[in-house]
Amino acid sequence: MSTESEREQSFSRRAFVLGGSMGLVGTALAARMADLSIFEGQRYQMASEENRVQLRLIPPRRGWIVDRAGKPLALNRPDYRLELIPEQITDLDATLAAIGKVLPLSLEDQLRIRADFAIQPKFMPVEVARNLDWAAFASLNVHVVDLPGLQPIRAFSRVYPEADHFAHLLGYVGAPTPDQYKLQKDPLLIFPGFRIGKDGIERHEDKPLRGKAGARRVEVTARGRVVRELDTRPDTPGETLKLTIDRDLQSYTARRLGDNSASVIVIDCLTGDILTMVSMPAYDPNVFSTRVPAALWKSLQEDDHHPLINKSAMGLYPPGSTFKMITALAALGQGTNPEDSVRCTGSYKLGNNTWHCHSRRGHGPVNMHTALPKSCDVYFYAFGRATGIDAIATMARRLGLGAKYELPLAGQAAGLVPDSAWKLRRYKKSWTPGETLNCSIGQGYIIVNPLQLAVMTARIASGLAIEPRLIANGPAPVFPSLGIPEDHLAIVRQGMFDVVNAGIGTAKAAKSPIEGVHIAGKTGTAQVRRITAEERKHGVKKNESLDWKQRDHALFVAFAPTESPRYAVSIILEHGIAGGKYAAPIAKDVLTYLFEPERALKALEPIERALAAKRAEVARAEAAAVRAAEEEKLMPAWLRNDAPSPNPAPASPNDAPDQPRDDG
Amino acid sequence: MFNGPWLRELSRLPWGIVLVIAALGSFGLVVLYSAAGGSLSPWALKQGIRLLVLLVAMLALAQVRPEFWLRIAWPFYGAVLLSLVGVEILGRVGGGSQRWLDLGIIQLQPSEFMKLAIVLALARYYHFLPRGYETRPMALWPPLAMIAMPAALVMLQPDLGTALSITFGGVILLFLAGVRLWLFAGAGLAVAAALPVAWNLLHDYQRKRVLIFLDPASDPLGAGYHITQSKIAIGSGGLVGKGFLQGTQSHLDYLPELHTDFIFATMSEEWGFLGGMFIIIGFGIILAWGISVAMRARGQFQRLLAMGLTATLFFYLAINMMMVMGLAPVVGIPLPLISYGGSAMMTVLILLGLIMGIARENTRPQR
């Protein structure tokens, strides 16, 4: 039925169809080719460029932080490092051995390098060593020629020459967090080893300090190896930041505080320049800027002296008697006659309650001139009550309490200046006269931070509405008067002068040793625990006999010279027992340093000697305890005595504040 | 020596096509030279020698008369099938994927030869099938078995690309021989129905390739990387390319398999759309010639052989180019004559030699 020609025709038809299909597919391929290379070419060219060209950042050098005289507080030190590029290393053992000849590598280092070598992507450098000295670095540079994959690098690391003395003020730098990167989208933040400000001024002023990154455009392979450099845009280093701080004064203050848990602020009464802002104890920002060992972090966190907290800005304390100037100024403002007196019997009755004066026997007749030097509570109960809480609160705010200042500090505490409206808002209850009594002597709701106390003192001393500043950008500002009558201020200043210089004063330990320079001040003691009526009956326990944590905070504010006030100081000694006895001498030494540094430094010697002895004793006791524990562990059970030998009792750290000295 | 039958035989060769083949092969060498970063080693020189030797072999095969192929079609198919079984057994013993038969001097890849053998065997089958029997279903079973056996063996290796290629060659032959069209439609439906089963039989990496082909953006840095980078290489070439030795995708290692499966992308990056068209048109000429040879061939065997081989060559080209341009999943099929590697080049040049033999037969005076 089918012939050869039919078969041929059928084949031809089908071959024609097949050939036609091939032609169609060929045309489709050509069309696709045109689509990719001609119509979409631009896009794919960009994609190919994106593959090929990589922007390598050049991290900017961080700006310096200097003090008012230009002395460096935070700077960058060239840090010579040695890195390995894993993908260029053929024999790690040989390379490590060769490095070992120039640079001794500990077993730990070697293990770490091998671990990094194994896990990291092959193009990511592995750090071999950092902080190399110049000699080792130079000699390694010579060896690069015959050791492929070796990369000596000159980087910069942040250095704080004054270490912990400036820790809280300056903060420290550290690696950015993923969240920060998500927020800022700055590729610098994921640059290996890049550090940003983590706390204090470093954090607040991070933008200007950071600078602008430069960039290198490089051609890279798919594995990230750089083939060649295309072009370079240099980096812009961060700006130098000048502070109002006096480095030497702050350093001296920190040393003077020793082991105390304390805050000291020194402020210029006329310009508001903060000369010193110390919070002790502190941490070493140099350590924090690299890597904090877990043990150190734990011990810092557990320390009851709170070395991680900036007490100067974040600490909140009842102002205690340092508040009495405000009560006095408010009373004067309400028309109180400073000559009016009350009779202090040691207590003050209101309704069914009794308020006590710190002097149990009473001060006898007291007027405004003697109330401040004697720090008589009963006088301020009486006149504070007459003045009223709202007038007192207004005066407190006028003098800078309850406010946050425009300062580059994180976590500034605002504290609280209570008044009747606040009480109504907060507790839906009206203000009671008893609460006014508490507030009049700086107890109760009122709570302040050390910086506010310094501003308050400076404002009283100068009569100017100064605002504190930390960054010395431009000339010293000129401030208007507070508007408080000069005669009112004169009465209060005279009272403060008598606190230090008169026989009845509570802070005679702050008396200036310098001819022609007088210090005026006011002590304060902030109760930490409540004294019950029961205890009062049997005699209040002496502070020195209490646990450190139970003792009162010691406060002292001062200014000098009284003839023409220039510097104001506020000191808070946590659990420092009494302002006059323990805080005042510190104020005296700090103020002395401003006028006669040599004399102040001489006063430091015995204090530091005692401190060193105390620390050595603690260290000895700790070492002994460790040794005893070790022996206990190592000794086989059958060798142990049935009665275990008494462990050497850890020496009770003598944590009472430094004893007052009698050289003034 | 320079006259007589020897010279006459030479002059009867299709020199135009030989020239196109040589041009494509040489272009391949140029691309390999660039792919090696502007160096003859490790690829271009070796490939050049291969090309020369195999071109000569092709011309020699062109002298063989098709009758000879008709005679050895069965034995050849049988031998290749046996060696497929052989590598399978050796592979089981040796463990892992085994595609080579190591004969000491050379390594033979029997699956490559099967691409030729299946066309030869089926062409012979239909040549001797009595007229009219092509359309009978009963006559369909032997060829189906002849396709299925090698395809299954190659799938076991596993080598999806070659298995598809063998199946394609066989099915095209059935089509050309005159098997009823509704059977193809029916088979197409059956395949569609069997797809889920086949899906389960695929290896994980093969499944992944298909999934990534369907959506390469789903994994741009993982397995979809190949397709994405290949498209970038082709697209970034533009009209005239980045220039010889100027390809960045290839030289900076972004392109995978730049000298074998993805050589078309390597080439396109440096030679652009024009380079691509050179290859497409070059192969187009060869395919058109192959079809015309088949149309003019005498006898069912020669017709089927010429067309079946042409279709096999087309399958190579189409799948490879569709793959590099992101139109087909990544299957390991090289671009004939251009890609580095001896097996594919040998297969294609033998294939072309056979077609040339048929073309030469066409020019003989009719008996």
Quick: pLDDT tens for A95-136: 888 888 878 888 888 888 888 788 766 666 677 887 788 888
Q: How many helices (H) and strands (E) does chain A have?
A: 24, 19
What is the distance between the alpha carbons of residues A215 and A272, in angstroms, rounded to a whole number? 42
The DSSP 8-state label assigned to residue A84 in this structure reads: E
From chain A, pick out residues whose CB is under 8 angstroms from the CB of B216. none
B177 chain-A contacts, CB cut-off 8 A: 11
Quote the crossing angle between the two packed helices B110-128 and B300-324, to the nearest 10°.
Answer: 140
Question: What pLDDT sits at residue B22?
Answer: 96
The pLDDT assigned to A315 comes to 85
B132 contacts on A by Cβ (under 8 Å): 1-2
- Residue pairs between chains A and B whose CB atoms are closer than 8 Å: 134
Question: Which residues of A fall within a CB distance of 8 Å from B249?
Answer: 48, 51-52
Q: Would you give the end-to-end CA distance of chain A in angstroms?
A: 138
**Closest Cα in chain B, distance from residue A213 (Å):** 27
DSSP A267: E
Whether B1 shows a pLDDT value over 50: the answer reads no
Confidence of residue A658 (pLDDT cuts 50, 70, 90): very low
More confident residue, A577 or A201: A201
Residue A544 has pLDDT above 70, yes or no: no
CB nearest to A14's CB, from B176, B233, B252? B176
Q: Alpha-carbon distance A337 to A367, whole Å? A: 9
* Two tokens, residue A238: 């961060």
According to DSSP, residue B242 is labeled S
State the pLDDT at residue A184: 79
What is the mean predicted confidence (pLDDT) over A593-620? 85
Counting Cβ atoms within 10 Å, is residue A446 exposed (0-12), middle (13-18) or buried (19+)?
A: buried
Question: pLDDT > 70: what percent of chain A?
Answer: 89
* A635 has a pLDDT exceeding 60: yes
Confidence grade of residue A644 (pLDDT, cut at 50, 70, 90): very low
Angle (CA) A450 A453 A456, round 5°: 155
Q: Give B320's contacts (C-beta < 8 A, 6+ positions apart).
A: B261, B264, B333, B334, B335, B336, B339
Supply the pLDDT for residue B304: 94
Chain-centroid distance of CA A193 in Å reads 22
Q: Residue A163, exposed/middle/buried by CB under 10 A (0-12, 13-18, 19+)? A: middle
C-alpha–C-alpha distance, residues A507 and A652, integer Å:
29
Q: Which of A12, A25, A227 sits opposite B295 (nearest CB)?
A: A12
Q: Each residue of B148-176: pLDDT tens digit?
A: 999 999 888 778 888 889 999 999 999 99
Tokens of A545: 């006999």
ipTM above 0.95, yes or no: no
Q: Do B236 and A48 touch (CB under 8 A)?
A: yes
How many angstroms separate the CA atoms of A344 and A376, rounded? 8
Flag if A32 and B325 touch (Cβ within 8 Å): yes
User: In chain B, at which residue ranges do the beta strands (DSSP E only) sit?
Assistant: 101-102, 107-108
Q: Which residue of B has its CA nearest to A32?
A: B325
Three-class DSSP category at A120: coil
A664 or A380, which is more confident: A380
Question: pLDDT tens digits, residue range B267-296?
Answer: 999 999 999 999 999 999 999 999 999 999
Question: DSSP string spanning A137-191?
Answer: HHHHHHHGGGSTTEEEEEEEEEE-TTGGGGHHHH--EEPPPHHHHHHH--GGGGS
User: What is the structure's pLDDT at A655?
Assistant: 43
Check residues A321 and A662 and name the one with the higher pLDDT. Answer: A321
Say which residues have a Cβ less than 8 Å from residue B154's Cβ, sequence separation at least 6.
B84, B111, B114, B162, B163, B166
Count of residues making up chain B: 367
Higher pLDDT, A128 or A451: A451
Parallel, antiparallel or unpaired: strands A364-367 and A341-344: antiparallel
3-state helix, strand, coil in chain B (%, to 5): 75, 0, 25
Confidence band for A551, pLDDT divided at 50, 70 and 90: confident
Least confident of A417-421, A498-502, A647-651, B247-251: A647-651
Residue of A8, A37, A220 to mutate when probing chain B, most B C-beta within 10 A: A37
pLDDT digits (tens, 9 = 90+) for A384-396: 888 889 999 999 9
Contact at CB, A10 and B172, closer than 8 angstroms? no
Does residue B103 have a pLDDT over 60? Answer: no
CB atoms within 10 A of CB A90: 9
A15-34: buried (b, 16+ CB within 10 Å) or exposed (e) per residue?
Answer: beebbeebeebbeebbebbb
Confidence of residue A79 (pLDDT cuts 50, 70, 90): confident
Q: Single out the residue of A340, A345, A397 nearest to residue A367, CA to CA.
A: A340
Residue from A291, A256, A304 nearest A276 by CA: A256
Sorted by sequence, the CB contacts under 8 Å of residue B143 that are 6+ apart come out as: B122, B125, B126, B170, B173, B174
Q: Min CA distance, B325 vs chain A (Å)?
A: 7
Q: Could you state, in order of their start, the residue ranges of all structural domains in chain A?
A: 55-242
Specify the higher pLDDT residue, A631 or A196.
A196
Query: Could A37 and B235 be called an inter-chain contact, meaning their C-beta atoms sit closer than 8 Å?
Result: yes
Chain A residues touching residue B268 (CB < 8 angstroms): 33, 37
Q: How far is B89 from chain A (nearest CA, A)?
A: 37
Average pLDDT of every residue of chain B: 87
> Which CATH architecture is the domain A55-242 placed in?
Alpha-Beta Complex (3.90)
Closest Cβ opposite residue A7 in set B231, B253, B300 = B300
Nearest CA in chain B to A37: B235
Per the prediction, chain A carries an average pLDDT of: 82
Q: Is A51 in contact with B131 (Cβ distance < 8 A)?
A: no
DSSP percent split of chain A into helix, strand, coil, nearest 5: 45, 20, 35
- How many angstroms separate the CA atoms of A215 and B38, rounded? 31
Q: What are phi and psi of A90, to 5 degrees?
A: -95, -40
Residues of chain B contacting A230 with CB distance shorter than 8 Å: none
**Average pLDDT for residues A476-495, to the nearest whole number?**
88
φ/ψ bin of A483: left (φ > 0), alpha (ψ from -120 to 50), beta (otherwise): left
B interface mutation test: which of A22, A52, A219 has the most B CBs within 10 A? Answer: A22
Please give the Cα distance from B173 to B309 (Å, whole number): 9
Please name which of A581, A371, A353 lies closest in space to residue A362, comparing C-alpha atoms. A371
- CB atoms A51 and B254 under 8 Å: yes
* A46-50, A72-76, A637-641, B41-45: least confidently modelled range: A637-641
Nearest CA in chain B to A27: B280
Mutating which of A4, A29, A221 best tests the B interface, going by the most B Cβ atoms within 10 A? A29
Say how many CA atoms lie within 13 Å of A634 toward its Cβ.
6
Chain A residues whose CB is inside 8 A of the B253 CB are 221-223
Contact between residue A158 and residue A289 where contact means Cβ atoms under 8 Å apart: yes
Q: Quick check: B183 and B190 in contact, CB under 8 A?
A: no
Q: Which two tokens stand for residue B187?
A: 């088979």
> In which element (H, E) is residue A347 found?
strand A347-350
pLDDT of amino acid B222: 61
Contact A47 B237 (CB under 8 A): no
Higher pLDDT: A583 or A647? It is A583
Three-class SS of residue A563? coil
| In contact, A254 and A139? CB cutoff 8 Å | no
Contacts of A45 in chain B (CB under 8 A): 235-236, 238
- Average the pLDDT over B358-366 and give the result: 85
CB B243 within 8 A of CB B270: yes
A352 token code pair: 């069914």
- B193: which residues sit within 8 A by CB, 6+ positions away? none
Nearest CA in chain B to A1: B132
pLDDT of residue B93: 59
Closest by CA to B335, choosing from B313, B356, B354, B366, is B313
Contact flag A15-B236 (C-beta cutoff 8 Å):
no
Q: A419 pLDDT exceeds 50?
A: yes
A228's enclosing H/E stretch is: strand A226-233
